[in-house]
Amino acid sequence: MAHYDVFNGDADGICALHQLRLAQPCADAELITGIKREIALLKRVQAVAGDIVTVLDISLDSNRADLERLLHAGAQVLYFDHHYAGDTLFAHPNFNGRIDTSSLVCTSLLVDVWLHGAHRLWAVTAAFGDNLHASARRAAEGLGLSETELTALQTLGECLNYNGYGEQLADLWFHPAELYRAVQPYADPRAFMAEAPAYQKLHSGYLADLDAAEHQTALLENESVAAFQLPDAPWARRVSGILANRLAHAHPTRAHAVLTPVADARYTVSVRAPLSHPAGADALCRQFPNGGGRSAAAGINGLPESDVPQFLQAFAAQFRRQ
Ligand SMILES: [Mn+2]
């Protein structure tokens, strides 16, 4: 009987798996992950009857055909996620799913409920990483954390999330499976931050990239929206998603888009709805090929340069103040 641990290569995916495996160790599981935007991960799983596939933080809608293939083959699937899952509820005797697309939860918070709060510090970290600051603070109530510790967990969540951004694995400081292996020995994220060389490397890379991003000028900017275009460089591809989150917090009533050049005159687009009204980002992005995500945070893969004006127009219209 083989185990497959399939997880998004961002903070939420890593922290969800880490919580589960602290509670239910499974040393021989095959790790299947990738850059944050690589979400069609189930196609890489070849499970047979009796195998157990654990799936964390990737859209069921984007993996539906392969999920059906694995269930049909007789695999047991445990699935936690908060991304768009399609219009119909998914049901199968071998499928155990905890899917909640509320903008207040992330996958690690769903796992935290499942584990009755056993490793909540990592769920708090992940919620910060997924830009769900209020949910992170709510989850942390009763843990007795100081404001300094909360801020540290926020930085850790942002760093783990930031590591997943990039066009290819070579853009990243760490392969997400390697980063998961680095956190694996630490039941307490505060010890990971204090002791792990991997964290020192990730944190200093994060600060250097943010510094480089600071002086970008807007393509479009008014009271309700702002869009920024980054240069064609690995640091820009790494920092793009974090930049969108930081802009969102600096201007909570404004929607933000960050366009990052990738190959073939195309852009990766990160969209954040206004924090004051976190809705519409997924509806905007699904108007374009390879667009999707959550109501508060969504994106488009490979937007052609020729479609940028159309995107900016749709973006401004989506978030125009009524
Ligand atoms: Mn997530």
For the chain, residues classed under CATH 3.10.310.30 are 218-318
Q: What is the pLDDT of residue 88?
A: 77
pLDDT the model gives residue 322: 61
Exposure class string for 274-312: b at 16+ Cβ within 10 A, else e: bbeebebbbebbeebeebbbbbbbbbbbbbeeebbeebb
82-91, 116-125, 205-214: which has the minimum mean pLDDT?
82-91
Centroid of ligand 1 to alpha carbon of 56 (angstroms) = 9
Is 217 exposed, middle or buried, given 0-12, 13-18 or 19+ CB atoms closer than 10 A?
exposed
Please list all protein residues whose beta carbon sits less than 5 angstroms from ligand 1, which is an ion.
Answer: 12, 57, 106-107, 130
What DSSP designation does 217 have?
Answer: P
Determine the residue type at 316.
A
Q: By three-state DSSP, how is residue 166 classified?
A: coil
CATH 3.90.1640 domain extents, the chain: 3-206
Distance 306 CA to ligand 1 centre (A): 30
Ligand 1 geometric centre to CA of 83 (Å):
7
Question: How remote is the CA of residue 13 from the centroid of ligand 1, in Å?
Answer: 6
CA dihedral 289, 106, 189, 204 (to 10 degrees): 30
At the topology level, CATH places domain 3-206 in: inorganic pyrophosphatase (n-terminal core) (3.90.1640)
pLDDT at 306: 97
Percentage of the chain beyond pLDDT 90 is: 87
Query: How many Å lie between the centroid of ligand 1 and the Cα of residue 8?
Result: 8
10 Å Cβ neighbour count for 222?
12
Sheet containing strand 52-56, edge to edge, reads 30-32, 3-7, 52-56, 76-81, 95-99
pTM metric for this prediction: 0.84
Q: What is the dihedral of CA 96, 295, 159, 233, to 10 degrees?
A: 120
Q: Is the pLDDT of residue 149 over 70?
A: yes
Question: Per mean pLDDT, which range of 70-84, 122-136, 151-165, 233-247 is the poorest?
Answer: 233-247
Listed in sequence order, the residues at least 6 apart from 167 whose beta carbon sits closer than 8 Å to its beta carbon are 35, 237, 260, 262, 263, 268
Spacing, Cα 131 to ligand 1 middle (Å):
9
| Strand 3-7, strand 30-32: pairing | parallel
Ligand 1 center–CA 108 separation, angstroms: 7
| Domain 218-318, second-level architecture | Roll (3.10)
Ligand 1 center to 140 CA (angstroms) = 18
CA 45 – ligand 1 centroid, Å: 21
Ligand 1 centroid – CA 82 distance (Å):
7
What distance in angstroms lies between residue 77's CA and the mean position of ligand 1's atoms?
19
Q: What does the alpha-carbon distance between residue 270 and residue 23 come to, in Å, rounded to a whole number?
A: 34
Torsions phi, psi for 100 (to 5 deg): -145, 115
Smallest CA-to-CA distance from 35 within 65, 67, 60, 13 is with 13
